[in-house]
Amino acid sequence: FCRSQGSGFYVVEGDHKSTWSSGATAFTEDTLRINNMPVMESWEKPYMRRLADEVSCCGGKLLEVGWGLALSGSRVQEHKHTVTEHHVIEANATVFQQLKEFAAKENAKSDGTPKVIPHFGLWRDVLKNIEK
């Protein structure tokens, strides 16, 4: 993992599958870093919210891969009575704990808020066990 010739872009080298789940995780209100790699930052919020609106417009069951800073996930939850289930796959244990806490709060609501269903693991592994 390194900056690409001072360009501001990051190059991720190698397979991080074995370390992603338990990797060093740094959370702030504005940044998520895992194994010292930038995963998500707050400046992405307008884009992530727009993506959430686009995928939520048709309603039904929705699958989100990666929880991050909950930028898109929290927006999906605003689509009451359209999205019925919001499945989220998260591979990092620390981030997954944040997701479970979010899910508990959201699932306690009875106002048409989509049900949040957290799944732990890498998407390639978890996807096999999710009902279609």
Question: For every residue of 38-66, which 3-state class applies, written as one string?
Answer: EEEEHHHHHHHHHHHHHHHCCCEEEEEEC
117-132 average pLDDT score: 89
Instruction: State the amino acid at position 18 in one-letter form.
Output: S
Q: What is the pTM of this model?
A: 0.85
State the pLDDT at residue 35: 87
Give the pLDDT confidence of 66-91 residue by residue, as tens digits. Answer: 999 999 999 999 999 999 999 999 99
Q: Is the pLDDT of residue 17 over 50?
A: yes
The 8-class DSSP code of residue 17 comes to: H
Q: CA–CA separation, 84 vs 56, rounded Å? A: 10
Contact 62, 52 (CB under 8 A): no
**91 CB-near residues (< 8 Å, 6+ apart):** 20, 21, 66, 120, 121, 122, 123
Strand partners, 116: 86
Q: What percent of the chain has pLDDT over 90?
A: 66
Q: Is the pLDDT of residue 3 over 50?
A: no
Residue 112, phi-psi category: left (phi > 0), alpha (psi -120 to 50), beta (remainder): left
